[in-house]
Amino acid sequence: MDCEALKKYTVLHPKPAGLTLQYGTAGFRTKAEQLDHVMFRMGLLAVLRSKAVVSTIGIMVTASHNPEEDNGVKLVDPLGEMLHPSWEEYATQLANAEDQELQKIITEICQKAAVNQHKDASVIIGRDTRPSSEKLSQSVIDGISVLGGQYHDYGLVTTPQLHYMVCCRNTQGQYGKATLEGYYEKLSKAFTELIKQSLSSGGSQRHLKVDCANGIGALKLSEMEPYFPKEVLIHLYNDGTKEKLNHLCGADFVKVHQKPPRGLDMKPNERCCSFDGDADRIVYYYKDATGHFHLIDGDKIATLISIFLKELLAKVGQTLRMAVVQTAYANGSSTRYLEETLKVPVHCVKTGVKHLHHKAQEFDVGVYFEANGHGTVLFSKAAETKIRQLAKEEKDDEKREAAKVLENMIDLINQTVGDAVSDMLVIEAILALKGLTVQQWDAIYTDLPNRLLKVQVADRRVIDTADAERRAVTPPGLQEKIDALVKKYKLSRAFVRPSGTEDVVRVYAEADAQENADALAHEVSLAVYHFAGGKGAPPQP
């Protein structure tokens, strides 16, 4: 380690006094002007991580669905997965260290994590379209260079594209070519193969309106357009040329406000979808003939994909274990449909993509989506090998064709992380192949009315949960109170959990009718306020 260079560069990227940040599920996120020192230090950390695992590590500069003034950074591990939890702690330590302690902390991390300083390090970088992202990614590069790491800057990419690049580089190209063209070619080839049956059977043009949240998704989707079959027409809205990133648009806005984004004019029964700011989430929606807005969220996306994959797995006749992974926020109707009608096992885990991803890895085919539209499908190595072999060698025509469709699905799905572009193409292919309209998809089951609220508390840590966050263990008496309230309503459930980011407790309730879901959510909020040290005035109905 060149201590002089480290000192010199630390002075160029000083830490503001009194600022502490926590590396969470989404990495670091805050106002862009507070992040320069963090970016520099994450460049340092990526070099250490690369040396520790002797692989290429990714760094993505983005704050996803946050406002344009914010920014953030997250590290990507060798197979395109999120940073290992033990290293999240090192990231937090390094980000919060005083300037003069940096060298000491780096040495400590090297000892704790058995980092061989003499190994080579390789880091790749990507960024979103925020005005602050270019300068901040330059600070990352300073950090990488100080510790002698090699880097490749991919510039403007979606978050899932960077995850894809990391995986390609560490599998020596087995997962795909580590270039944007490689990504576009891999996905579009699989998509075209899938959809050509439906096009040859006289399917007319397929139109889709896409709200790109004024973010990176617009840029990359327009680059990818020449790769699509000419029958598939994708119309881009909120493409970033006029308005601010995520402002009154994007997947998060549509999901939270249950209404269409600004700047997208919807005609009855048109298929529309929204990406979030860094294109790793997607939700669909449409207006019916009466002008009523219908949201199709992550639960319904997971259900559509599960129906399709289950039919194909039955056709190939293999005993491959399939399951769906959800969080407590998944609508009760989706869970009931999957378990009772589709007969697919459903597993509930704690909120946060890393918990879903981890659980999905236990199955041959693991489908996971959060209600917010972030999700993907994982195929075990054994399942993938078996499917590819059947697609090549199976004598029975029907079985072989089904295996080929599955093989194309494997290539179309970005297994490293939720990917709005990939998920959109998966959904479009399934709707085309099954001949489903957006209304028919929506009608698979009816969501139970629900309500999400938050309660301000003095300290969110007084609430501790168990059973995948579905039951409150502390403070004493709270869960009993919730159980009593839930008994008052039909088809109802409710749970509370501390926010991961602020001193609020999130309350979720669902019931047979909207007024009942609202009433239950309000009553549970009051219980939280009284049992868990509410701040300010009690919640109002």
Full DSSP string of 369-435: E-TTS-EEEEE-HHHHHHHHHHHHH--SHHHHHHHHHHHHHHHHS-TTS--HHHHHHHHHHHHHHHT
Q: Render pLDDT for 434-469 as a digit per residue (tens, 0 to 9).
A: 999 999 999 999 999 999 999 999 988 899 999 999
User: Do residues 457 and 527 lie in contact, with contact meaning Cβ atoms separated by under 8 Å?
Assistant: no
Q: What is the average pLDDT value for the chain, to the nearest integer?
A: 94
List for the chain the helix, strand, coil content (%; round to 5): 45, 20, 35
Cα distance between residue 188 and residue 228, in whole Å: 6
Instruction: Judge contact between 185 and 227, C-beta under 8 A.
Output: yes
506 has binding-site annotation: yes
Binding residue per annotation — 280? yes
Query: Which two three-digit tokens encode residue 233?
Result: 């027409």
Question: 450-532, superfamily in CATH?
Answer: Alpha-D-phosphohexomutase, C-terminal domain (3.30.310.50)
66 has binding-site annotation: no
Check if 334 is active-site.
no
User: What SS3 class is residue 443?
Assistant: coil
Judged by DSSP in three states, 209 sits in strand
Task: Give residues with Cβ within 8 angstroms of 380, minimum separation 6.
Answer: 361, 363, 364, 365
Which residues on adjacent β-strands are paired with residue 254?
Answer: none
pLDDT for 320? 93
Amino acid at 122: S
Give the number of residues written for the chain: 541
Give pLDDT, residue 457. Answer: 92
Q: What is the CB-side half-sphere exposure of residue 121 using CA atoms within 13 A?
A: 26
Token pair recorded at residue 87: 């290293």
Q: Are 154 and 87 in contact (CB under 8 A)?
A: no
Other beta carbons within 10 angstroms of residue 151's beta carbon come to: 20
Specify the pLDDT at position 230: 87
Place of tokens 């979720």: 508
Asked whether residue 273 carries a pLDDT value surpassing 90, the answer given is yes
What stretches of 147-281 show up as alpha helix (H) in DSSP?
159-170, 180-200, 216-224, 251-257
Alpha-carbon gap, residue 256 to 248, rounded angstroms: 11
Q: What is the CATH number of domain 3-156?
A: 3.40.120.10
Instruction: Tokens for 504, please give them.
Output: 């609020």
Domain pair 3-156 / 181-295, same fold: yes
The structure tokens listed for 474 are 């502390």
Whether the Cβ atoms of residue 246 and residue 68 lie closer than 8 Å to each other: yes
Instruction: Map tokens 């990488």 to a residue.
Output: 144
CA distance 185 to 148: 34
- The answer to whether the CB of 449 falls within 8 A of the CB of 510 is yes
50, 55, 64, 132: the catalytic one is: 64
- Rounded distance, CA 504 to CA 501, Å? 8
Does 331 show up as a binding residue in the annotation?
A: no
Q: Which architecture characterizes domain 298-420+437-443 according to CATH?
A: 3-Layer(aba) Sandwich (3.40)
CATH topology of domain 181-295: Alpha-D-Glucose-1,6-Bisphosphate; Chain A, domain 3 (3.40.120)
The Cα–Cα gap between 327 and 355 comes to 9
Please check if 498 is assigned to a binding site: yes
Between 501 and 299, the more confident residue is 299
The model's confidence at residue 201, banded by pLDDT at 50, 70 and 90, is low
pLDDT reported for residue 500: 73
Asked whether 125 and 152 are in contact (CB, 8 A), the reply is yes
326: burial class by Cβ within 10 Å (0-12, 13-18, 19+)?
buried
Each residue's pLDDT tens digit, 35-89: 999 999 999 999 999 999 999 999 999 999 888 999 999 999 999 999 999 999 9
Q: Residue 87's pLDDT is what?
A: 96
Report pLDDT for 503.
Answer: 80
Q: What percent of the chain has pLDDT over 70?
A: 99
Query: Is the pLDDT assigned to residue 197 strictly greater than 90?
Result: no
Q: How far apart are CA 342 and CA 348, in angstroms?
A: 17
| 371 is an annotated ligand-binding site residue | yes
Question: Any idea where the domains of the chain sit in the sequence?
Answer: 3-156, 181-295, 298-420+437-443, 450-532
Q: How far, in Å, CA of 248 to CA of 126, rounded?
A: 25
Give the orientation angle of helix 216-224 with respect to helix 180-200, to 10 degrees: 60
Is 501 labelled as part of a ligand binding site?
A: yes
- What number of other Cβ atoms are within 10 A of residue 9's Cβ? 20
What is the CB-side half-sphere exposure of residue 308 using CA atoms within 13 A? 26
CA gap 307, 367 in Å, rounded = 11
499 labeled binding residue: yes
Query: What's the average model confidence in pLDDT over 320-340?
Result: 96
| One-letter identity of residue 97 | A
**CB-based burial of residue 118 (10 Å sphere; 0-12 exposed, 13-18 middle, 19+ buried)?**
exposed
**What does the pLDDT look like over 389-408, one tens digit per residue?**
999 999 999 999 999 999 99
Q: How many CB atoms lie within 10 A of CB 350?
A: 16
CA–CA separation, 433 vs 193, rounded Å? Answer: 11
pTM over 0.85: yes
Alpha-carbon distance of 456 to 539, in angstroms, equals 9
Q: Is 275 helix (H, G, I), strand (E, B) or coil?
A: strand
Amino acid at 530: H
Q: Report the C-alpha gap between 54 and 388 in whole angstroms.
A: 30
